[in-house]
Structure 1
Amino acid sequence: MRINAAIGLSAVALALAMGHAAPAHAGNVAGAGMECYVDTFRYDIATPDTCSSLWVPNGAHNPTVAVFSVTGLPAGNYGFVWRNLENNAIVASCANQNACAVPISTDLSGDGVAILQATVTDLDTGASRQVQATAYYYDGYT
C-alpha cells in the first residue's frame, strides 16, 4: 500500500512541478480573406480580392485555371466550402481545402471571369465567414 501511495504522491508532485498547459485557443475567422491569380507561363503572383492576366500566344494556355486561396487564418481547425458564384454551384473538388483552382477562358473565347466564394468555418467554435475573389482573363492578342 505504501508503494502505491508513494508513486501517487510522486506523480502529483511531478505534475505540479511541470505546471499546467495553457488552454488551447481556436482559430479566428475574422481576419480571413481571399487572393487569386490566373495561371500563365509567367511567375504569377496572387493578389487580394481581384486578379487579372492577359493571354498572348506562347504566354499561357487558353483555357487555363484561376487559382484562389483563403488567407489570414491563424493555426486552427477549419472547414472550407467553395461556391462558384457564376453558376451558384458548390465546387466539390475543392471541399475542405484552403485553395481551389477552376477553369477560366479569355473574354473572347469565354466570359473571361471566375468568381469564387469560400465559407470558412472554425470547426472548434462553429464561427464562420464568407470571403470571395474575382479573376479576369483577357485576350491580349486578338
Structure 2
Amino acid sequence: MEVGKMLIAAGFAAALSLTALAPARAGDLSGAQLECYVETIAYDVPQAGWCQSVWTPGTASNPSAAYFNVTGLPAGNYSYVWTDLETGQAPAGCGNSPGWCGVPIATETRGDGEARLRVVVTDLATGAQRTLNATAYFWDGYN
C-alpha cells in the first residue's frame, strides 16, 4: 500500500510540474503600467493611470511631489524616456531612471493641481516598446 501511495504522489508531483506557469518572456511589455501617487503624510497608495490627493493644513507640503513608477515589467534591461505632457519637455532629474520619476506639484489654488507624464519603455534586448501615461491631481481641501 505504501508503494501505491508513493506512486500516486510521484504522479501528482509530475502533473504539477507540467502545469507550472510559463515564465515571463523578454519583450512582453503587455503587463506594464504607469502608477503614481502624490506625497502627503497619509499612506499614499500608487494607482495605475491616475492618482489624486487632497491638501489641508498639516497633511502635506504645498507644493508637494508626484511620483510616477513603471510596474509590471518582466525581468530585463530597459530604457525609460520621460516626457512632461504639460511642457513637452523631459522632467528635470528623471532622465533614464530605472522606472520612476518625481515631479513637483501644487494644488489648484497655487498652481494647476495636475502633473501629467508619459514614459516610453524600451526592452533593450528585443527593441520592444510601450508608451504609458498617467496623471496626478492635487486638490485644495481647505481654501
Which residue of the partner structure matches residue 133 of structure 2? Answer: 132
Query: TM-score under structure 1 normalisation?
Result: 0.80
User: CA–CA distance in 2 between the matches of 1:95 and 1:112?
Assistant: 23
> In 1, are the aligned partners of 2:114 and 2:137 still within 8 Å (CA)?
yes
Distance 2:26 2:53 in 1: 37
Structure 2 length-normalised TM: 0.79
Q: Structure 1: state its 5+ residue gaps.
A: 1-24
Secondary structure at the counterpart of residue 95 of structure 1: coil
- The whole-number CA distance in structure 2 between the counterparts of 1:82 and 1:122 is 15
- Specify the SS of the correspondent of 2:118: strand
Residues 4-60 of structure 1: CA deviation (Å, up to 9, x unaligned): xxxxxxxxxxxxxxxxxxxxx534222211110000011111011110000000000
Shift of 1:91: 2.2
Residue of structure 1 equivalent to 2:38: 38
Give 1 or 2 for the bigger CA radius of gyration: 1
1:90 CA displacement: 1.3
Where 1:89 maps in the other structure, the secondary structure is coil
Q: Which structure 2 residues correspond to residues 1-142 of structure 1 after superposition, within 5 A?
A: 26-97=26-97, 98-142=99-143
Gaps of 5+ in 2: 1-24
Q: Is the 8 A contact 2:26 2:76 kept in 1?
A: yes
Q: Return the offset for 1:115.
A: 0.3
Query: Partners in 1 of 2:110 and 2:83 — Cα distance?
Result: 23
Paired residues, what number?
118
- Aligned partner letter, 2:31: G
CA contact (8 A) 2:27 2:127 kept: no
- The worse-fitting range, judged by mean Cα deviation, of 85-94 and 49-58 is 85-94
RMSD: 1.1
Q: Could you tell me whether the CA contact under 8 Å between 2:27 and 2:128 is conserved in 1?
A: no
Matched-pair contact (CA < 8 Å) for 1:27–1:75: no
> Contact 2:27 / 2:123 at 8 angstroms: preserved in 1?
yes
- Using the alignment, how far apart are the partners of 1:64 and 1:90 within structure 2? 19
Check whether the contact 1:27–1:73 (CA below 8 A) recurs between aligned residues: no
Residue aligned with 2:30, SS? helix
